[in-house]
Structure 1
Amino acid sequence: MIDEAEDQVLLRQGALNESIILVGKNKAIKYDCLGRPSSTITSLVFSHDNKFERIVCISRIGRMRVLPGKIEYK
């Protein structure tokens, strides 16, 4: 899943192995009368062996941003 080169990226598709941790927040998504989501989808945080962490943010219109991030364990 992780490229060992200097610029590490997560693959777009593929199975996650046991060294990948994914933490997400629960959030209800409500839709208006036209079927559009009224709020943004929660973010997901990917971690690989606690060395490589990225937050994937998905907007209500489907745009995605990938940012460096930290996992917050509860």
Structure 2
Amino acid sequence: MTESVFEDEPICSAKGCTAPAEWALRWNNPRIHTEERRKTWLACDAHRAQLSDFLSARGFLREVEPFSPA
């Protein structure tokens, strides 16, 4: 049996987007998460503003950082 070995490249969190992730949008919902808790959405350059605006409009966006896979 042959094994196919490949690394999944992290992609943008926008619905239907398969572009590589360039940005990490760190957020939390203050009504259900502690202040220090962070969730992460990944964004490509094309969707960074759209996803940031969505989170900001709800008061969830905490920081946006360049994404680098571990």
The TM-score with structure 1 as length reference comes to: 0.29
- Higher RCO, 1 or 2 (CA under 8 Å, sep at least 6)? 2
Greater helix share, structure number: 2
